[in-house]
């Protein structure tokens, strides 16, 4: 592996090489298998989330279930959430 950032585009509504919700791809292990990396590990990985409120909620719960803690500008953590979508 030459760098730390891994890009894995996936869609849910049209034909594409990678299809499915990111949460499902992570839970099934397909995401990690396709990238050739081990599943996320709180000891080695940091995550930045950006997306719809529903996706953020699901991924946050998944990460916290794996022992990750949310951080912000004043408190370091294992993941951060970018809330760019306007909540309704």
Domain boundaries, the chain: 1-38, 40-88
* Cα of 3 vs its chain's centroid, Å: 18
Residue 6: pLDDT band (50, 70, 90) is: confident
CA distance 1 to 37: 9
* Residue 86 pLDDT greater than 60, yes or no: no
φ, ψ of residue 77 in degrees (nearest 5): -150, -170
Overall pTM > 0.75: yes
Band of pLDDT at residue 80, cut at 50, 70 and 90: very high
DSSP state, 13? S
User: How far is Cα 55 from Cα 49, in angstroms, rounded to an integer?
Assistant: 9
Question: Does the pLDDT value for residue 82 go beyond 90?
Answer: no
Average model confidence (pLDDT) for the chain?
89
pLDDT at 7: 86
Closest CA to 34 of 51, 52, 49, 16: 16
Average pLDDT (32-49) is 93
Q: Is the pLDDT of residue 45 over 70?
A: yes
Asked if 48 and 82 touch (Cβ cutoff 8 Å), the reply is yes
């Amino acid at each position: 592996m030459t760098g730390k950032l891994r890009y894995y585009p996936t869609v849910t509504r049209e034909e594409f090489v990678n299809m499915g919700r990111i949460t499902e791809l992570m839970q099934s292990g397909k995401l990690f298998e396709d990238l050739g990396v081990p599943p996320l590990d709180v000891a080695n990985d940091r995550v930045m989330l950006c997306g719809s409120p529903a996706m953020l909620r699901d991924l946050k719960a998944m990460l916290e279930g794996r022992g990750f803690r949310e951080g912000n500008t004043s408190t370091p953590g294992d993941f951060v959430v970018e809330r760019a979508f306007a909540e309704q």
